[in-house]
Amino acid sequence: MSATTTEPGTAYVPAAEALSAVMAPGARPRRPSALSASITFGWRAMLKIKHVPEQLFDVTAFPIIMTLMFTYLFGGALAGSTTEYLQYLLPGIMVTSIVMITMYTGVAVNTDIEKGVFDRFRSLSIWRPAPMVGYILGDMFRYTVASLVILVVGLVLGFRPGGGVTGVLAGIALLIAFSFAFSWVWTMFGLLLRSEKSVMGVSMLVLFPLTFLSNVFVDPETMPGWLQVFVEVNPITHLVSAVRSLMGGTTDTGEVTLVLISSAVLVVVFGTLTMRLYNRK
């Protein structure tokens, strides 16, 4: 490796003709559209997965562990049998796993932002949010992988969704749409906080209450009244209800609408905050 690394470096002599030719003022292409620039950044995220495939570990191993752990840990106690509990738990555990891995968006933004390449992106004449949207587009691929992994594990363990293929896919689509919106929370923290560690720290603080204080694991009816109040306003509760209803074949349009509205609110609020920080950085 080292022999080939130094060879072209030392042999190179800048040739005036070759360099002049590449600098000849040809027709400059038009500035790319917002969508095109975002997709290009999404492509970059996919290339990163190609070059560093280890990062898919947290969208494969982690969801499998989550599903197995909670099915067998709570199944017997809460629903009498693990298979029965799985019908209730699987949509919830899928939501929990995906929402939890959204925080990696923040980690990626945080580690990238200090690098020189980010200065280059920021000095280009492109739609400003494109780099951030690109991260999230790449992460949506990861969310899809994780969802499918959980689905397969669930099916193997005995998950039999009443909504059939359509219901299950609709549930996953809604979950990924919400995760896209929720990722903007992490782009904000990724830009706001100083280190990767602090992003992780904050994410635990946000994600644990949000996912556990919901209807993912148990029916909220069993909780004390004050906790029910929180569970009721928690967007994750509504997401889980909506996904459960879609997968179970009993689509609850009210819950689905609520999830779509909360997604839009998340994008507007945290997208705006993210872009303010991005432009100030």
Partner 1 sequence: MSEHGAGPAIETSGLIKIFGKNRALDGLDLTVPAGTVYGVLGPNGAGKTTAVRILATLLRPDGGEARVFGHDIVRDADAVRGRVSLTGQFASVDEDMTGMENLVLIARLLGYRKPGARDRAAQLLEAFGLTDAADRQVKNFSGGMRRRLDIAASILNTPELLFLDEPTTGLDPRSRNQVWDIIRIVVAQGTTVMLTTQYLDEADRLAGRIAVIDHGKVIAEGTPGQLKASVGAGSVHVRLRDASQRPEAERVLSKALDAPVQLEADPVALTARVAGEGIEHAAAERAARALSELAAAGISVDDFSLGQPSLDEAFLALTGAPARADARTDHPATSEETAA
* Gap between the Cα atoms of 58 and 97, Å rounded: 10
Task: Write out the two tokens for 115.
Answer: 């690098």
Dist CA 103 CA 100 (whole Å) = 6
**Which parts of 45-104 interact with partner 1 (CB under 8 A)?**
47-48, 51-52
Binding range to partner 1, per CB under 8 A, among 3-11, 93-101, 152-160, 206-214: 3-11
User: How many whole angstroms separate alpha carbon 106 and alpha carbon 85?
Assistant: 33
Task: Give the x-and-dash track for 27-46 against partner 1 (CB under 8 A).
Answer: -xxxxx---xx--x--xx--
The residue behind tokens 């891995």 is 101
Q: Is 22 exposed, middle or buried (0-12, 13-18, 19+ CB in 10 A)?
A: exposed
What minimum distance in Å lies between the beta carbon of 106 and partner 1?
Answer: 19
Among residues 14 and 225, whose Cβ is nearest to partner 1? 14
| Binding flag, residue 14, partner 1 (CB under 8 A) | yes
Write down the least CB distance from residue 121 to partner 1, Å: 7
Minimal distance in Å, beta carbon 114 to partner 1?
Answer: 9
**Of 5-13, 92-100, 155-163, 195-203, which segment contacts partner 1 by CB under 8 A?**
5-13
194 is an interface residue for partner 1 by CB under 8 A: no
Residue 25 in contact with partner 1, rule: CB under 8 A: yes
| Calpha distance 22→18 (Å, rounded) | 6
Q: How far is the CB of 196 from partner 1 (least distance, A)?
A: 16
Q: What is the DSSP letter of 126?
A: S
Interacting residues with partner 1 between 104 and 133 (CB under 8 A): 115-117, 119-126, 130
Least distance to partner 1, CB of residue 191, Å: 14
Could you tell me if 98 and 147 are in contact, meaning their C-beta atoms sit under 8 angstroms apart?
A: yes
Instruction: Check: CB of residue 132 under 8 Å from CB of residue 274.
Output: yes
What minimum distance in Å lies between the beta carbon of 8 and partner 1? Answer: 5
Q: Is 220 in the site for partner 1 (CB under 8 A)?
A: no
Structure tokens at 236: 């994750």
Query: Which residue number, 125 or 253, has a Cβ lying nearer to partner 1?
Result: 125
> Can you tell me whether residue 114 is helix, strand or coil?
coil
DSSP H or E run through 64: helix 57-79
Task: Indicate whether 3 belongs to the interface with partner 1 (CB under 8 A).
Answer: no
End-to-end CA distance of the chain: give it in Å, rounded: 38
Distance of alpha carbon 42 from alpha carbon 26, whole angstroms? 28
Nearer to partner 1, 121 or 230 (CB): 121
Give backbone dihedrals phi and psi of 55, rounded to 5 degrees, phi first: -70, -10
Q: Tell me if 222 contacts partner 1 by CB under 8 A.
A: no
Min CB(26)–partner 1 separation in Å: 8
Q: Which of 168, 170, 172, 104 is nearest to 144 (CA)?
A: 172
Give contact residues for partner 1 (rule: CB under 8 A).
1, 4-16, 18-26, 28-32, 36-37, 40, 43-44, 47-48, 51-52, 115-117, 119-126, 130, 280
